[in-house]
Amino acid sequence: MFLTDLGLRLAAAELDVAALRQRVIANNVANVNTPGFKKKAVRFEEFLYRVLEERRLGLVTTDPRHLQPRPEIRPQVVTPPAVTMRADGNNVDLEEEMITLVANTLVYQTMAQEVGKRLGLLSYVITGGMRA
């Protein structure tokens, strides 16, 4: 989908990241009793901040018709460094996963509302204020 509104693009990207984070958390919880399993996490926000900072600085163009680059912001699933918490080598903390799940759910709901509002506004503008 080609989205020109930066806020809409960022909200849509955050929805994708939240869905990925949900799958990673579910995998961690499913493996809470698997000996030797190391939990995974999703890294995204630091990449987003870096891209936004670069965008703030901007690029110099010689012609107003030049296109600005659209940087790719891709989340990464990583195994964070952690001390093993149990004798079997598993480091999944169920309480921590549940807290992360709740926080991720709130982010997802907020971004879904934001995307809905922005798309509703676009729909309003496209239809000239007429509701179907």
3-class DSSP assignment, residue 58: coil
The pLDDT of 37-61, averaged and rounded, is 75
Query: DSSP letter at 89?
Result: S
Q: For the whole model, what pTM was predicted? A: 0.74
pLDDT of residue 68 exceeding 70: no
Q: Which residues contact 21 (CB under 8 A, 6 or more apart)?
A: 42, 75, 100, 104
- Give the pLDDT confidence of 88-107 residue by residue, as tens digits: 989 999 999 999 999 999 99
